[in-house]
Amino acid sequence: MTATADRGAAHAAAATLLDRMVRDSLRWLDGARPHFRLPPDVATGADPNLTLKPLGELAELTHLIRTSHPRADIRAAADGLFTFAWNETREGELFAELVRGEPHATYPLEIYGVFAYAGLRNTAVEAILPTTTGLRSWRVAREDHTRTLSVLDAERRTGLRQHADFDTVLGLTGLGLMAEPWALDRMAVYGITHDVFHLTDWGRERRRVPAALADYLRLWLPSWLDSWLEEQLWDLVGELLAVAACLPSAPYDPVAWQRLAEAQAADGSVPEMGAAPESGDAAEVFKACYHSTLVTAFAGTLARTGLEVSAAAEAGQAQAVAGRTRYKSEEPS
Amino acid sequence: MPLSAVVADVATGVVLALRGGGDPYALSRVLPQDDPLAPAAIRVLGADVLAPYALDHRSAPAGADDETVVRQALAAYPPGPDASEVSVWTYRGLIEASRALLPGDPGDADRAWPQVPRAGAAWITTDPWPKLAFRASQLAALAFPGLAPDLADGLAARTDDLARGFVRAVRRRDWLQAAGLGRWLARLPHVPPTLGLDSGLVFVQQMSDGDARVALHVVAARQFYGRGG
Amino acid sequence: MLKDRTLVESGTLTDEVESLLDPAEPEGVFHDTRECAAKTLLLGALLASPPTPRPKKTETR
């Protein structure tokens, strides 16, 4: 076989693997709808980390999948989940309640921003947000600069004035500072993955990664992947694979993907860490798996759209294909 | 005393000499006297036992005692037919360093140094990066001026992979591996600046809490290649 | 006799030298920053701060 034929076969095998993983993840997530459903006390007593956070992640990541996956059946599955999430927020009504309950919290805006970005708006929310986000207090520096990038993204998506300069804040993060690659603990690496997601609009804009940062990530991702594969921290493995796919050259790591595939159970779930939970309690299983499973679907989608880019990069013509036009060519049906 | 403790003691003597404290270095003085473990310790530390002789001002000229004990080490622990690549390479390193830094006499059959054995080099290009890095770290005593130039050239082509190995080793808290890789990287050109090699070497030494072999790699990186602050 | 013993000893010493020259790679030791333990679940950094205790909504009183 010629080198080109080899590459073609490897490309096809990777696409098959990724599509299966994304499809299986979405199937499990679809079956987990009862656990994503928001309880009646969502705006008052319920723990937002167990209610709004899962739903927010579901919305963010299924929106990416429904708008960019090349396969129509996968887009349709993601679209169904995205619509489900919007309906759970009572078409945005919930966010107005959340803002009134916690006017200085950022998460109602951050989650609302996902829907606003997709063109789903709520007039009550739109009326109240300029007030709460226009305060000087909103501009007080937050403890976590990565989180500030998330708030800036949400402001942009919602059409609000951004309260700080994105690049300045990025410069204060682990990615912006190009922290020593050996000096990162787990949270610092999570931080860097999210710096990349915010910088690239969750992988939609690969070219936004400046060359120096792309080089930094290309160099050190293999070390980080090796480390967290060894620790079997599957959600971080998935996020790092997603980061690789966010790079202008979208390098594909077949070994790491194979390892993540082996961690995915037959029902499509991916455990947070180590082996699948043995608990028979469905709520426990959901808590242990929803995040990694979503990340797998997200990373698999980005890596899938990145295959063309990485193939082109290998063939030495990355410039011709890596642009956003090609990437956004697949629109939801 | 177990061999590993003797090795650590000798390494400490080398570190002190390389740092420039105390009396001028003499290998025979940092070895336990009349101890069968002395040649074994030399074989384990390899070329590093002669490192201070490469810094003129840190040592007296090597003497006949040193030559004798190194010869004993080379004679007692040659790599066997099933020896690992690491064993062969470190043996070569000790011979090369002896030729360069000990008296010897090529004209005198009794005082000539052994021929260097052939050592496999395919792994330098074919090993996946984590394995390559681990193996290179075991050969860190060869990261020594003028020694094993072909090995250094081969590794230079994989500088990024060694740097990835340094990151991996620190993550795993394998300080000896990290220090050995840091020492190679100190020798190689084009180390990625974002690695932070200088602070990395210092960090590794601090974290290892006084491990003499870690300290030896770190001080070698500084004295021979000016890295590590 | 002495010679035999020396041979045996130097046999084990040779093994010891080899094992110090080419030991197996140690198992990785992973300690993470402890304050992070509770935060590892958080992707999206959507809700990376702990839930704020919320007063009951006034209109329900």
pLDDT tens by residue, A272-293: 989 888 878 999 999 999 999 9
The whole-angstrom distance between A48's CA and the closest CA on chain C is: 6
Contacts of A220 in chain B (CB under 8 A): 164, 167, 194
Binary contact (A45, C47; C-beta < 8 A): no
- The lowest-confidence range among A59-68, A155-164, B103-112 is B103-112
Q: B51: pLDDT confidence band, cut at 50, 70 and 90?
A: very high
Nearest CA in chain B to C28: B172
Using a CB-CB cut-off of 8 Å, the residues of chain B touching A181 are: 167, 194-196
Give me Rg for the CA atoms of chain C: 30
State the pLDDT at residue C34.
67
Mean local confidence (pLDDT), B12-22: 90
Percent of chain B at pLDDT exceeding 90? 82
A-chain residues near C33 (CB < 8 A): 185-187
- Per the CB < 8 Å rule, is A182 touching B196? yes
More confident residue, A327 or A36: A36
Segment A104-126 mean pLDDT = 96
Q: Among residues of chain A, what percentage have pLDDT more than 70?
A: 94
User: What is the average per-residue pLDDT within B4-18?
Assistant: 96
Q: Is the pLDDT of residue C55 over 50?
A: no
d(CA B134, CA B139): 9
Cβ within 8 Å, pair A43-C57 = yes
Gap between the Cα atoms of B219 and B228, Å rounded: 8
**Residue C35, pLDDT score:** 57
Calculate the average pLDDT of chain B: 93
Q: What does the pLDDT read at residue B170?
A: 97
pLDDT band at A178, cuts 50/70/90? Answer: very high
A47-56, A305-314, B39-48: lowest mean pLDDT where? Answer: A305-314
Mean pLDDT of B134-141: 98
**pLDDT band (50, 70, 90) for residue A105:** very high
Contacts of A227 in chain C (CB under 8 A): 28, 30
Residues 6+ apart with CB under 8 A from B128: none
Q: What is the pLDDT of residue B89?
A: 97
The set of chains that have 3 or more CB pairs under 8 A with C is A, B
What pLDDT does B104 receive?
Answer: 77
**Residue B13, number of CB atoms within 10 A of its CB:** 20
> Which chains reach chain A with 3 or more Cβ–Cβ distances below 8 angstroms?
B, C
Chain B's closest residue to A213, CA to CA, is B194
Chain C: give the shortest CA distance to residue B172, in Å.
4
pLDDT at res. A1: 54
pLDDT digit string, tens, across residues A87-102: 999 999 999 999 999 9
Nearest of B61, B41, B220, B30 to residue B142 by alpha carbon: B220
Q: What is the reported pLDDT for B150?
A: 95
pLDDT at C46 over 60: no
With an 8 Å Cβ cutoff, the interface of chain A facing chain C consists of 43-45, 47-49, 52-53, 56-57, 60, 100-102, 105, 107, 110-111, 144, 146-147, 150, 185-187, 190-191, 194, 227, 230-231, 233, 235, 239, 272, 291, 294-295
pLDDT at A6: 83
Least confident of A127-136, A163-172, C17-26: C17-26
Query: What's the pLDDT at B126?
Result: 97
Residue C50 — pLDDT band, cuts 50, 70, 90?
Answer: very low
Greater confidence, C5 or A266? A266
With the C-alpha atoms ordered B155, B81, B70, B106, is the resulting torsion angle positive or negative?
negative
CB A144 to CB C45 under 8 A?
Answer: yes
Residue A22 to residue A224: CA distance in whole angstroms: 23
User: What's the gap in Å between the CA of B56 and the closest CA on chain C?
Assistant: 28
Please tell me the predicted confidence (pLDDT) of residue A200.
Answer: 97
Question: Looking at CA atoms only, how far is residue A107 from chain C in angstroms?
Answer: 6
**Rounded Cα gap, residues B87 and B121, in angstroms:** 13
Place B123 in a pLDDT band, splitting at 50, 70 and 90. Answer: very high
Residues in C closer than 8 angstroms to A233, CB to CB, are: 40
Tokens 């603990």 belong to which residue? A185
B105 pLDDT band (50/70/90 cuts)? Answer: confident
Does the beta-carbon distance from C44 to A187 stay under 8 Å? no
A208, burial (CB in 10 Å: exposed 0-12, middle 13-18, buried 19+): middle
pLDDT reported for residue A285: 94
Band (pLDDT 50/70/90 cuts) for residue B58 is low
Q: Do A186 and C33 touch (CB under 8 A)?
A: yes
Per CB-CB distance under 8 Å, the chain B contacts of C10 are 36, 76
Dump the DSSP string for chain B: --HHHHHHHHHHHHHHHHHT-SSPB-HHHHSPTT-THHHHHHHHHGGGGGGGGGSGGGBPPP-HHHHHHHHHHHHH----TT--HHHHHHHHHHHHHHHHHS---TTSGGGSPPPPPP---HHHHHS-HHHHHHHHHHTGGG-STTS-HHHHHHHHTTHHHHHHHHHHHHHTT-HHHHHHHHHHHHHSS---GGG-HHHHHHHHHHHTTS-HHHHHHHHHHHHHH----
pLDDT at A237: 97
Confidence category of residue B34, pLDDT binned at 50, 70, 90:
confident
The average pLDDT across B64-92 equals: 94
Q: Is A210 on the interface with B (CB under 8 A)?
A: no
Q: Do B203 and A181 touch (CB under 8 A)?
A: no
Q: Residue A60 has which token pair?
A: 């963010």
Q: Which of C41, C57, C59, C61 to mutate to test the interface with A (most CBs of A within 10 A)?
A: C41
Which residue from B minimizes the CA distance to A182? Answer: B167
What residue in C sits closest to B40 (Cα-Cα)? C17
Rounded mean pLDDT of A125-137? 97
Selected residues 2-61 of chain C with any CB under 8 Å from a CB in chain A: 28, 30, 32-33, 36, 39-52, 54, 56-57, 60
The verdict on ipTM greater than 0.90 is: yes
Please state the rounded mean pLDDT for residues B175-196.
98
